[in-house]
Amino acid sequence: MNEDEIPFSQACENNKGYILEELTLAFAKLSHVLEIGSGTGQHAVHFAKHLPHIRWQTADQDDYHEGIRYWMARYPSENLLPPISLRLPIDDIPDRSFDGFFSANTAHIMQKNEVEFLMARINERLPSGGVFCQYGPFTQQGKFNSQSNIDFHEKLIASGRGGYRDIDELRAWAPKLSLHKIVDMPANNHLLVWHKS
């Protein structure tokens, strides 16, 4: 991979520390987590290093795998697993006894039917006592929390993306999950901590 081809997200660098603080608490009793939409791989290498008790399984569309593998080679961890192919809803979430799921900055990029599929499958696959942490921008009761989020949502829609999803929508699509906590994060984002009891 050439230097100019190395995937890099400044947003990942900015938010990884804040997210890790919450994952350290939320994932304290878990052992096997699937990251849905690993993107550049920056989150995965950071979280796996600091959560050594968890086998961290990366996953994304095939186009992202080379970049994820680059970051894994640069910052290896024994508990960090190479990416598997995952493009919802074409691919299903693998049944590998995951007791946790993590996904960052995916719901507003995906189409509505794709997010609905994601929530429904986690609703079924997450075992009792499992945890799903979902990071990104969301609306609450149809309301945006900043003008910048309104502008970004409109930009996403104009570019053919799905746009922001409302937390009440997510609840409806995953009735077996309870929203344990909504954590306000930098840049007008949230971390949603879902439990299955």
Q: How confident is the model at residue 197 (pLDDT cuts 50, 70, 90)?
A: confident
Res 1: pLDDT: 65
- Give the rounded percent of residues in the chain with a pLDDT score beyond 90: 94
Kindly tell me if the per-residue pLDDT of 155 is higher than 80. Answer: yes
Q: Is the CATH code 3.40.50.720 the one for domain 3-195?
A: no
Which region among 3-12, 126-135, 159-168 has the lowest average model confidence (pLDDT)? Answer: 3-12
Q: Are strands 55-60 and 80-85 parallel, antiparallel or unpaired?
A: parallel
pLDDT over threshold 90, residue 6: no
Q: What is the mean pLDDT of residues 22-36?
A: 98
The CA dihedral of 5, 78, 196, 161, to the nearest 10 degrees, is 0
93-125 tens-digit pLDDT: 988 899 999 999 999 999 999 999 999 999 999
The Cα 90–Cα 45 span in angstroms is: 26
